[in-house]
């Protein structure tokens, strides 16, 4: 009887593991004496939009940079789509990165390239067998998705902040990743453009069935896109719940964000 119960629990745990795109356990990261992440643990379920909420400098961006392998953690495990990120070599990291899109806070569009070349760049690296026509079709599809097909031959410097964000989103989605990491996607945008970007994120996540981690402290964006929210306070996962659950919390630290 006990053995049967144990096996049921084990089966449940396995099925839960299958449904998790990212699992972070006991993560530590310090910069000198600044201990940014202290025993941080979280998971991202497949198909979920998870918002990581926290003050500026609380380590949110460090967390997603650790997840994509841009920063090496001091200790702890990061498992993305079944692969342990800190243990991968550069080639293995490149392989897993094809399945992860990253939208940078500053958009990180290549200034020396046109919008077309910006979008072609990841395709030419990873889909080397594509014909010129197929590359063109994928570029135009990505631009049409964000409503900016007419900007294809423009340079990033000729575009507004909102347009640059949309182009960066199109570039992030062009390889059709399984997971997207958004680093403050609406920061520096006016409320209308921020709302448009939030809606676009939601639509594209549904269309491409992606899982997302969204770093933000724009509460309108958080409300619009989140399925679940975790709060990163003092280097640990302080709280975990839906927008409505956290909004009703009486904890002072949580209330400050929702006021």
Partner 1 sequence: MKSKTLQIFLSETGDIGRFTYRFFVEAFKPRYEFSELLRQCFYIGYKSLPLVAITAFIMGLVITIQSRPTLVEFGAEGWLPKMVSVSLVREIAPVITALICAGKIGSGIGAELGSMKVTEQIDAMEVSGTNPFKYLIATRVMATTLMIPILGILADAVSLYGGYLGTNIHGVVSWNLYWNQVFDTLTFGDVVPSILKTFFFGFAIGIIGCYKGYNSNKGTEGVGRSANSAVVISSLLVFILDLLAVQITDLMRLT
Chain residues binding partner 1 by CB under 8 A are 65, 68, 70, 90, 94-95, 97-98, 100, 102, 104-106, 108-112, 121-122, 125-126
Whichever of 101 and 162 has its CB closer to partner 1, that residue is 101
- Determine how β-strand 236-241 pairs with β-strand 211-215: unpaired
CB atoms near residue 165 (< 10 Å)? 28
How many angstroms separate the Cα of 135 from the Cα of each of 89, 125, 151, 154? Answer: 29, 12, 16, 18
Q: Is there a contact between 27 and 74 (Cβ–Cβ < 8 Å)?
A: no
CB atoms near residue 102 (< 10 Å)? 20
Whichever of 43 and 97 has its CB closer to partner 1, that residue is 97
Cα–Cα dist 151/143, whole Å:
8
Taking the complex as a whole, how short is the minimal distance between the CB of residue 164 and partner 1, in angstroms? 11
Whichever of 109 and 230 has its CB closer to partner 1, that residue is 109
Taking the complex as a whole, how short is the minimal distance between the CB of residue 195 and partner 1, in angstroms? 24
| b/e 134-152 (16+ beta carbons within 10 angstroms → b) | ebeebbeebbebbebeebb
Taking the complex as a whole, how short is the minimal distance between the CB of residue 157 and partner 1, in angstroms? 12
Taking the complex as a whole, how short is the minimal distance between the CB of residue 104 and partner 1, in angstroms? 5
Whichever of 177 and 257 has its CB closer to partner 1, that residue is 177
Picking from 100, 92, 99, the residue whose alpha carbon sits closest to that of residue 64 is 100
Whichever of 102 and 243 has its CB closer to partner 1, that residue is 102
Whichever of 96 and 224 has its CB closer to partner 1, that residue is 96
Contacts of 256 (CB under 8 A, 6+ apart): none
Taking the complex as a whole, how short is the minimal distance between the CB of residue 2 and partner 1, in angstroms? 47
Taking the complex as a whole, how short is the minimal distance between the CB of residue 229 and partner 1, in angstroms? 24
CA atoms within 13 A on the CB side of 102: 18
């Amino acid at each position: 009887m006990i053995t049967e119960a144990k096996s049921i629990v084990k089966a449940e745990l396995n099925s839960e593991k299958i449904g998790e795109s990212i699992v972070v356990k006991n993560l530590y990261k310090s910069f000198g004496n600044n201990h940014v992440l202290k025993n941080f643990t979280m998971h991202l379920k497949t198909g979920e939009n998870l918002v990581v909420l926290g003050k500026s400098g609380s380590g949110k961006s460090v967390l997603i940079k650790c997840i994509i392998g841009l920063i090496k953690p001091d200790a702890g495990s990061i498992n993305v789509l079944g692969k342990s990120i800190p243990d991968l070599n550069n080639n293995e990291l490149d392989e897993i990165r094809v399945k992860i899109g990253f939208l940078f806070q500053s958009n990180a569009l290549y200034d020396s390239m046109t919008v077309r070349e910006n979008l072609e760049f990841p395709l030419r690296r990873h889909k080397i067998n594509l014909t010129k026509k197929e590359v063109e079709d994928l570029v135009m599809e990505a631009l049409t998705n964000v409503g900016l097909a007419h900007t294809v031959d423009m340079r990033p410097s000729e575009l507004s902040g909102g347009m640059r964000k949309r182009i960066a989103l199109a570039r992030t989605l062009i390889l059709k990743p399984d997971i997207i990491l958004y680093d403050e996607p609406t920061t520096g945008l006016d409320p209308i453009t921020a709302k448009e970007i939030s809606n676009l994120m939601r639509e594209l996540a549904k269309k491409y069935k992606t899982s997302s981690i969204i770093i933000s402290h724009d509460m309108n964006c958080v409300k619009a896109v989140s399925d679940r929210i975790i709060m990163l306070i003092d280097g640990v996962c302080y709280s975990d719940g839906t927008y409505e659950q956290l909004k009703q919390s009486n904890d002072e630290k949580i209330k400050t964000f929702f006021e």
